[in-house]
Structure 1
Amino acid sequence: METNKDKKELVKQQYSQLALNGDLLKSSCGCGTNPAKPSKKVFTIMSEDYSHLKGYEADADLGVGCGLPTEYAGLKEGYTVIDLGSGAGNDCFIARAEVGESGKVIGIDFSIPMLEKARKNAAKRGYTNVEFKEGDIEEMPIPDNTADVVVSNCVLNLLPEKNKIFKEIYRVLKSGGHFCISDVVLNGVFPKEFTDNASMYAGCIASAIQKEDYLGEIEKANFTDIKIERTKTVVIPDEVLQENLDEATIIKYKAGNVGIYSITVTGVKA
């Protein structure tokens, strides 16, 4: 039986592979299937268009987000922003465009290849107020009361201990600070064979939890003014299911009528 540590190591391996093969996989589905084995079809979860946003950098966009959290984050000039699971740096660079030269952006990721890619992207552009730190989101290498805003894009669902994550977000936020997170949640229960599948877990679908439980973890971390800013239905194409699951499991999954959603949620540290 896989432990939480095993699951995290699986995610780290998959996303390190995505960083190494980023150019090859850029148009593939990185959320919901094995990033090292591109699907021919892209999930609707991957259809977010960042290109119109100020600060967008095409070579930092690996196409694995499930929302546009910076659009709802209320970023202002001079803010300090932390991006959890910063990947190749896309959301960090967009946040930097909002907080300006007087602000600061800190990306946290546990994948060394991703960090190397992000740091190269920042150095290439001469950004001096964007920093990428190696670290575990469940135990951030960040002092208390550091950030005005915490953002994250389709990352927290990948990790098994959501309760620790939201407590950590609360800790690193300044009093009156807030978070804005896009993530995947469920309404209904997957077959066990689905959730036990390594590729589906690492792809952020099988690792997602029930929407009510997700919001409950936010409440238990003492956040106030919790709002769902946006909801989007996620559809898994048949060919992605067929690449990763046997026919019996697919039938069980479809019979269960599980709702999969991308939500963008905000909350405030009082």
Structure 2
Amino acid sequence: MKSDVKNKVKKYYGKIAKKVNSGVGNNCCSTSSCCGDISKSSLIYEGENLNDLPKEAVEASLGCANPVLFAELKEGETVLDLGSGGGINVLMSSKYVGSTGKVYGLDMTDEMLELANKNKEKMGVTNVEFLKGFIEDIPLQSETIDVIMSNCVINLSDNKEKALSEAYRVLKNGGRLAIADIITMKYIPLDLREKAGMWCGCLGGTLNIQEYGSILEKVGFKNIEVKSVHIYTKSIIEETFLKNKYLDEAVKDIDLDLIDGAFAGAYVKAYKL
């Protein structure tokens, strides 16, 4: 990822974590988040018991879907969550893999890692470890992970091929990638993509289905599936993105007709065979 974009993204999510860490509340995400409405976390994680999780983990959830359910985790598996934030997916996964399994969370933001470790202590889980690092340079040995998850994070990287090749490297043979992400459904003018605020809002760095599949295939993945599950219409963008006071002002001046239906939440699954 280009350093200026990476720094803006890091600063953006650092602010979110600081608010939650301070106990003030996640006001910037109570109405909107990176990829959706955080007040609807219970809908994103439908069927999951969020009451077992620290409220700070739920408040700092910035995803667009439920990768834990999509990943179909099994007892004893070793799992890596890329861009783990406040730890919601990691802590949920710890219950599925059990005492014989292990869940790693990787994040580049000190404030998020601080929050995640606080949430880990509150849960009292012993099969969880949070790591500092970048998804383009995963600090784990090759072929050590059964399942890689991610929730609306790959789109933030400016070097998706490197990020996905790193995911492939650390997966065991037979391992799987199961992520939720944002994809592009139609052409977006370059000037819109280059607005830093759109990166923080998970929109500027998205790929279309064909591009996503091509990169996954290039780095070695097999049995690739990239499937859109919900389209971001003009009204959804207005409701969930533009109410976020931390977004760049330039984003708020965008002609929404140009991006109406241009983005979608998607599930991405692929295997290392």
Task: Give the deviation of 1:86 after TM superposition.
Answer: 0.4
Task: Give the deviation of 1:202 after TM superposition.
Answer: 1.0
Give 3-state SS (helix, strand or coil) of 1:21's partner: helix
TM-score by structure 2 length?
A: 0.85
Please tell me the residue identity of whatever aligns with 1:266: K
Instruction: Determine if the alignment matches structure 1 residue 50 to structure 2 residue 52.
Output: no
**Contact 2:188-2:258 at 8 Å conserved across structures:** no
Give 3-state SS (helix, strand or coil) of 1:132's partner: strand
Answer with 60-69 or 106-115: which moved more. 60-69
**Aligned-pair Cα RMSD in Å:** 2.6
Structure 2 gaps of 5+ residues are none
Relative to structure 1, the CA distance from residue 238 to residue 91 in structure 2 (aligned partners, 3 Å threshold; closer, same or farther) is closer
Answer with 200-209 or 231-240: which moved more. 231-240
Task: Give the deviation of 1:214 after TM superposition.
Answer: 1.4
Answer with 253-262 or 100-109: which moved more. 253-262
Task: Give the deviation of 1:247 after TM superposition.
Answer: 8.3
Equivalent position of 2:112 in the other structure: 114
Amino-acid identity (%): 33
Describe the superposition over 1:95-132 as per-residue Cα deviations: whole angstroms up to 9, x where unpaired. 11110111100000000000000001101221111000
Please tell me the residue identity of whatever aligns with 1:264: Y
Instruction: Determine if the alignment matches structure 1 residue 59 to structure 2 residue 53.
Output: no
TM-score by structure 1 length?
A: 0.86
**Contact 2:31-2:240 at 8 Å conserved across structures:** no
- CA distance, structure 2, for counterparts of residue 121 and residue 131 of structure 1: 12
**Contact 1:189-1:258 at 8 Å conserved across structures:** no
- CA distance, structure 2, for counterparts of residue 121 and residue 109 of structure 1: 15
Relative to structure 1, the CA distance from residue 248 to residue 112 in structure 2 (aligned partners, 3 Å threshold; closer, same or farther) is closer
**Contact 1:157-1:184 at 8 Å conserved across structures:** yes
> 1:18-167 to 2 correspondence within 5 Å?
18-22=16-20, 23-25=25-27, 26-31=29-34, 42=37, 48-50=43-45, 52-54=47-49, 57=53, 58-61=55-58, 62-167=60-165
Equivalent position of 1:263 in the other structure: 266
Task: Give the deviation of 1:42 after TM superposition.
Answer: 4.1
Please tell me the residue identity of whatever aligns with 2:47: H
Structure 1 gaps of 5+ residues are 33-40
Task: Give the deviation of 1:230 after TM superposition.
Answer: 5.7
**Contact 2:228-2:264 at 8 Å conserved across structures:** no
Answer with 134-143 or 187-196: which moved more. 187-196
Please tell me the residue identity of whatever aligns with 1:30: S
Equivalent position of 2:229 in the other structure: 231
**Contact 2:157-2:205 at 8 Å conserved across structures:** yes
Task: Give the deviation of 1:206 after TM superposition.
Answer: 1.6
Relative to structure 1, the CA distance from residue 263 to residue 246 in structure 2 (aligned partners, 3 Å threshold; closer, same or farther) is closer
> 1:149-188 to 2 correspondence within 5 Å?
149-188=147-186
Equivalent position of 1:36 in the other structure: none
Task: Give the deviation of 1:59 after TM superposition.
Answer: 2.2
Equivalent position of 1:37 in the other structure: none
**Contact 1:82-1:150 at 8 Å conserved across structures:** yes
- CA distance, structure 2, for counterparts of residue 187 and residue 44 of structure 1: 26
Relative to structure 1, the CA distance from residue 45 to residue 124 in structure 2 (aligned partners, 3 Å threshold; closer, same or farther) is closer
**Contact 2:87-2:105 at 8 Å conserved across structures:** yes
